[in-house]
């Protein structure tokens, strides 16, 4: 019987193989060097060996496997997972699972935690964004008291799929997330919020910008929410189009990551965002 094993790989050679044979640009980088660099975040990369032949590769960190791929002429995905799970008895988590592998991993006792996809669109709009009647948009900067967004975030995401999966975060976690994103986008902040001028209430929020470390200088939308009683008034679409327009002075592309099943996915498509490959995070039952 041919022995199977994992063999430590040089991360530079591994990255080249992973980018070519993974057959999926899940981050939608559209750029060779960026994809290579995105793969080189760890030395914990391994060839999957059959005897002396490389048949695939995987990143393995403790009990987690990420982004496995096959090397031709080997092409049996079921067997690849059987080999990997046989070689790695301690695997409990698998990240970056493509849709074609989900059913295979179900048969090995893994369940889906969440399915995500990155979406991109060109910056800029073909016509001036117009705010809905009675509402005004303001730029969000470091001088603003972010505690005013605590309830907006809670209401804006309550009942959504992310909160169904991950639960409702505490007030402290919400403020921590807002502060983190504002720091990430400090290099080129594009964040905005919308106010109902009649009662001076904040009814929508979009945290966005360009990180100093963002590959290719893409802009990114980190959070988008509208409180429930103000939905279906065009507020989210207006904020998205406003940010697309303002981002066009600095970049050509805006990206975001959405949980599959989020109603906002339809809005993103309506405003020009193109979806990349879906990828799942799975855990052992």
Nearest CA among 235, 234, 248, 227 for reference residue 137? 235
Backbone torsions φ then ψ of 16, nearest 5 degrees: -60, -45
**Could you tell me which residues are beta bridge partners of residue 219?**
254
Tens-of-pLDDT digits for all 285 residues of the chain?
A: 568 999 999 999 999 999 999 989 999 999 999 999 999 999 999 999 999 999 999 999 999 999 999 999 999 999 999 999 999 999 999 999 999 999 999 999 999 999 999 999 999 998 899 999 999 999 999 899 999 999 898 888 777 777 778 777 888 999 999 999 999 999 999 999 999 999 999 999 999 999 999 999 999 999 999 999 999 999 999 999 999 999 999 999 999 999 998 889 999 999 999 999 999 999 999
Domains in the chain (CATH in brackets) are 4-108 (3.40.630.30), 120-276 (3.40.630.30)
pLDDT of residue 1: 56
The answer to whether residues 178 and 119 touch, using CB atoms and an 8 Å cutoff, is: no
Cβ burial 110-123 (10 Å sphere, 16+ → b, else e): beeeebbbbbbbeb
pLDDT of residue 166: 77
- Cα separation of 234 and 188, whole Å? 26
- Cα separation of 154 and 34, whole Å? 35
CA distances, 169 to each of 42, 155, 157, 166, 212 (Å): 30, 12, 10, 8, 28
Strands (DSSP E) contained in 42-197 are 45-50, 53-61, 64-70, 93-98, 110-122, 135-139, 188-189, 192-196
pLDDT of residue 249: 97
């Amino acid at each position: 019987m041919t022995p199977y094993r994992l063999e430590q790989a040089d991360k530079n050679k591994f990255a080249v193989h992973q980018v070519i044979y993974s057959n999926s640009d899940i981050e939608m980088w559209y750029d060779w060097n960026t994809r290579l660099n995105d793969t080189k975040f760890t030395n914990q990369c391994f060839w999957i060996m059959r005897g002396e032949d490389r048949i695939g590769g995987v990143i393995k960190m403790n009990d987690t496997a990420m982004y496995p791929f096959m090397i031709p002429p080997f092409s049996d995905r079921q067997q690849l997972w059987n080999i990997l799970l046989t070689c790695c008895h301690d695997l409990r988590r698998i990240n970056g699972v493509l849709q074609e592998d989900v059913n295979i991993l179900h048969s090995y006792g893994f369940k889906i935690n969440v399915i995500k996809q990155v979406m991109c669109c060109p910056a800029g709009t073909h016509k001036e964004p117009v705010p809905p009647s009675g509402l005004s948009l303001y730029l969000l900067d470091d001088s603003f008291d972010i505690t005013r967004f605590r309830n907006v975030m809670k209401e804006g995401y309550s009942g959504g799929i992310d909160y169904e999966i991950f639960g409702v975060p505490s007030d402290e976690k919400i403020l921590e997330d807002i502060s983190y994103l504002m720091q990430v986008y400090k290099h080129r902040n594009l964040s905005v919020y919308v106010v109902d001028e009649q009662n001076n209430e904040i009814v929508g929020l979009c945290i966005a910008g360009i990180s100093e470390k963002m590959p290719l200088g893409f802009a990114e939308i980190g959070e988008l929410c509208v409180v429930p009683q103000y939905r279906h008034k065009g507020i989210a679409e207006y904020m998205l189009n406003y940010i697309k327009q303002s981002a066009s002075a600095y970049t050509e592309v805006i990206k975001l990551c959405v949980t599959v099943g989020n109603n906002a996915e339809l809005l993103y498509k309506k405003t020009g965002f193109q979806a990349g490959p879906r990828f799942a995070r799975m855990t052992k039952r």
